Amino acid sequence: MIRFLLNDQDVNEENCAPDTTVLEYLRTKVEQRGTKEGCASGDCGACTVVLAEATNGQLRYQTVNSCITLLGSLHGKQLLTVEHLKEQGALHPVQQAMVDLHGSQCGFCTPGFIMSLFALYKNCDQPTRADVENALAGNLCRCTGYRPIIDAALSLAGKGASDIFTKSEASTYLRLTGILKQHPSGFIEHGARRFLIPTNGDELLAQLQRFPDAKLVAGSTDLSLSITQQLQQPETLIYSGRVQELMQIEESASTLKIGAAVTYSAMQSSLHKYFISFADMLERLGSLQVRNQGTLGGNVANASPIGDTPPVLLALDATIHVRSPNGRETFPINTFFTGYRQTKLPASGFIESIEIPLQPECQLYVYKISKRLDDDISAVCAAFSIALKDGKVNDVRLGFGGMAATPARALNAEQALIGQSFTEQGILAAQKALAEDFSPIDDVRASGAYRLKVAQNLLLRAVLEQDNPTQEALEVVQYA
Ligand X SMILES: Cc1cc2nc3c(=O)[nH]c(=O)nc-3n(C[C@H](O)[C@H](O)[C@H](O)COP(=O)(O)OP(=O)(O)OC[C@H]3O[C@@H](n4cnc5c(N)ncnc54)[C@H](O)[C@@H]3O)c2cc1C
Please give the residue ranges that form the binding site for ligand FES (CB under 6 A): 37-40, 42-47, 65, 67, 105-106, 108-109, 141-143, 145
Q: How far is the CB of 295 from ligand FES (least distance, A)?
A: 18
What does 78 interact with, of ligand FES, ligand X, none (CB < 5 to 8 A by kind)? none
Radius of gyration of the chain (CA): 23
Q: Does the footprint of ligand X cover residue 223 (CB under 6 A)?
A: yes
Q: How far is the CB of 268 from ligand X (least distance, A)?
A: 14
Closer residue to ligand X, CB minimum distance, 10 or 202: 202
What distance in Å separates the CA atoms of residue 221 and residue 288, rounded to the nearest whole number?
A: 12
Burial class of residue 266, CB neighbours in 10 A (0-12, 13-18, 19+):
buried
Element (H, E) at 353: strand 350-357
In this chain, which of 27, 35, 38, 42 binds ligand X, going by CB under 6 A?
42
Q: Does the footprint of ligand X cover residue 219 (CB under 6 A)?
A: yes
What does 47 interact with, of ligand FES, ligand X, none (CB < 5 to 8 A by kind)? ligand FES
Q: How far is the CB of 414 from ligand X (least distance, A)?
A: 23
Q: Does the footprint of ligand X cover residue 216 (CB under 6 A)?
A: yes
What distance in Å separates the CA atoms of residue 321 and residue 175, rounded to the nearest whole number?
A: 35
Bridge partners of residue 354, in order along the sequence: 258, 320
What distance in Å separates the CA atoms of residue 83 and residue 184, rounded to the nearest whole number?
A: 29
Burial class of residue 390, CB neighbours in 10 A (0-12, 13-18, 19+):
exposed
What does 260 interact with, of ligand FES, ligand X, none (CB < 5 to 8 A by kind)? ligand X
Pairing of β 215-217 and β 236-239:
parallel
Q: Which amino acid would we find at residue 310?
A: P
Closer residue to ligand X, CB minimum distance, 6 or 68: 68
In this chain, which of 260, 288, 362, 379 binds ligand X, going by CB under 6 A?
260
What does 286 interact with, of ligand X, ligand FES, none (CB < 5 to 8 A by kind)? ligand X
What does 295 interact with, of ligand X, ligand FES, none (CB < 5 to 8 A by kind)? ligand X
10 CB neighbour count, 10 Å cutoff: 10
Q: How far is the CB of 223 from ligand X (least distance, A)?
A: 4
Q: How far is the CB of 83 from ligand FES (least distance, A)?
A: 17
Closer residue to ligand X, CB minimum distance, 308 or 414: 308
What does 272 interact with, of ligand FES, ligand X, none (CB < 5 to 8 A by kind)? none
What does 344 interact with, of ligand FES, ligand X, none (CB < 5 to 8 A by kind)? none
Q: Which residues contact 441 (CB under 8 A, 6 or more apart)?
A: 448
Closer residue to ligand FES, CB minimum distance, 37 or 376: 37
Q: Which residues contact 327 (CB under 8 A, 6 or more apart)?
A: none
What distance in Å separates the CA atoms of residue 416 and residue 414, rounded to the nearest whole number?
A: 5
Closer residue to ligand FES, CB minimum distance, 99 or 464: 99
3-state secondary structure of 215: strand
First to last CA, the chain: 53
Q: How far is the CB of 353 from ligand X (least distance, A)?
A: 9
Longest dimension (CA), the chain: 71
In this chain, which of 221, 236, 412, 431 binds ligand X, going by CB under 6 A?
221
Contact between 76 and 176 under an 8 Å Cβ cutoff? The reply is: yes
303 CB neighbour count, 10 Å cutoff: 21
Closer residue to ligand FES, CB minimum distance, 19 or 43: 43
What does 219 interact with, of ligand FES, ligand X, none (CB < 5 to 8 A by kind)? ligand X
What distance in Å separates the CA atoms of residue 203 and residue 426, rounded to the nearest whole number?
A: 53
Q: Does the footprint of ligand X cover residue 217 (CB under 6 A)?
A: yes
What does 350 interact with, of ligand X, ligand FES, none (CB < 5 to 8 A by kind)? ligand X
Query: Helix (H) and strand (E) counts for the chain?
Result: 18, 20
In this chain, which of 190, 193, 215, 453 binds ligand X, going by CB under 6 A?
215
In this chain, which of 104, 240, 265, 431 binds ligand X, going by CB under 6 A?
240
Residues 62-91 binding ligand X (CB under 6 A) are: 68
Q: Strands of 302-341 (E only): list them.
A: 319-324, 327-332, 337-339
What does 109 interact with, of ligand X, ligand FES, none (CB < 5 to 8 A by kind)? ligand FES
Q: Does the footprint of ligand X cover residue 294 (CB under 6 A)?
A: yes
Going by C-alpha positions, the residue among 364, 432, 428 that lies closest to residue 399 is 364
Q: Does the footprint of ligand X cover residue 295 (CB under 6 A)?
A: yes
How many amino acids of this chain bind ligand X (CB under 6 A)?
31
What distance in Å separates the CA atoms of residue 47 and residue 37, rounded to the nearest whole number?
A: 6
41 CB neighbour count, 10 Å cutoff: 14
In this chain, which of 351, 386, 398, 404 binds ligand X, going by CB under 6 A?
351
Q: How far is the CB of 126 from ligand X (least distance, A)?
A: 28
Q: Which residues contact 255 (CB under 8 A, 6 or more apart)?
A: 355, 356, 357, 358
* Residues found near ligand X in the complex (CB under 6 A): 42-43, 68, 215-223, 240, 260, 285-286, 290, 293-295, 297-299, 301-302, 307-308, 345, 350-351, 377
